[in-house]
Structure 1
Amino acid sequence: MSKPDSLPLLISSDELEPHLHQDNVLIVDMRGYDDYRHAHVPGAVHLDYADIAIAAPPALGALPPVEALAHDLTQLGLTPQQHVVAYDDRAGVNAARLFWTLSVIQHPGGFSLLNGGFLDWHETGKTTSNSQPTIEPCAYNFVYQSSTQADSQYILNNLDNPNVILFDCRSVEEYTGAVARAQRGGHIPGAINIDWLTGVDLNDKAKIKNTDIIRNTYETQGITPDKEIIVYCHSHRRSALTYFILKVLNYPSVRAYAGSWSEWGNIPTLPVDTI
Structure 2
Amino acid sequence: MPFDFKAFVGACCIINCSVCFGQIGIIAPQEARELIEQSGSDQGVAVLDTRGGYKDYFRGHISKAHHINFGTLRGTDHGVPVQYLPDDLTAALLSRAGVDKNRALLVYATGDVLPNDEILSATMVAYVLEKFGVKNIRVIDGGLAEWQKNGLPTTQEYFGNPPGELPKTMNKRIGIDLNELLKRKDQPNVVLVDARPHNEYVGDDDIWVRKGHIPGAINFHWARLMEADNTHKFLPMTTVKDELKSAGLTPDKEIIVYCGTSREGSLLRFYLAHVAKYPNVRLYEGSWKEYASLKQYPAETKEN
- Decide which moves more: 132-141 or 58-67: 132-141
Shift of 1:139: 3.8
Q: Which runs of 5+ in 1 are unaligned?
A: none
Partner of 1:124: 150
The alignment partner of 1:265 has SS state of: helix
Partner of 2:280: 253
The alignment partner of 1:224 has SS state of: coil
1:10 is the counterpart of 2:26: yes
Partner of 2:86: 65
Instruction: Quote the Cα distance in structure 2 between the aligned partners of 1:69 and 1:243.
Output: 21
Amino acid at match of 2:35: H
Instruction: Quote the Cα distance in structure 2 between the aligned partners of 1:235 and 1:227.
Output: 24
Partner of 2:126: 99
1:28 is the counterpart of 2:48: yes
Amino acid at match of 1:162: P
Instruction: Quote the Cα distance in structure 2 between the aligned partners of 1:241 and 1:27.
Output: 19
Aligned to 2:200, which of 174, 189, 197? 174
Matches within 5 A, 1:108-257: 108=135, 110-140=136-166, 142=168, 144-179=170-205, 181-204=207-230, 206-247=232-273, 248-257=275-284
Contact 2:49 / 2:68 at 8 angstroms: preserved in 1? yes
The alignment partner of 2:153 has SS state of: coil
Instruction: Quote the Cα distance in structure 2 between the aligned partners of 1:150 and 1:7.
Output: 22
TM-score when normalising by structure 1: 0.92
Shift of 1:144: 4.8
Amino acid at match of 2:159: P
Q: Which runs of 5+ in 2 are unaligned?
A: 12-21, 112-116
Contact 1:234 / 1:262 at 8 angstroms: preserved in 2? yes
Amino acid at match of 1:116: G
Shift of 1:8: 6.5
Shift of 1:208: 1.4
Task: State, as a whole percentage, how many aligned pairs show the same letter.
Answer: 27
TM-score when normalising by structure 2: 0.84
- Decide which moves more: 81-90 or 13-22: 13-22
RMSD across aligned C-alpha pairs, in angstroms? 2.0
Shift of 1:207: 1.4
Shift of 1:250: 0.3
Partner of 1:54: 75
Contact 2:133 / 2:166 at 8 angstroms: preserved in 1? no
Shift of 1:143: 6.0
More strand by share: 2
| 1:96-122 deviation per Cα after TM superposition (whole angstroms, max 9, x unaligned) | 0011111211213x0000111111111
Q: Say how many residue pairs are matched.
A: 274
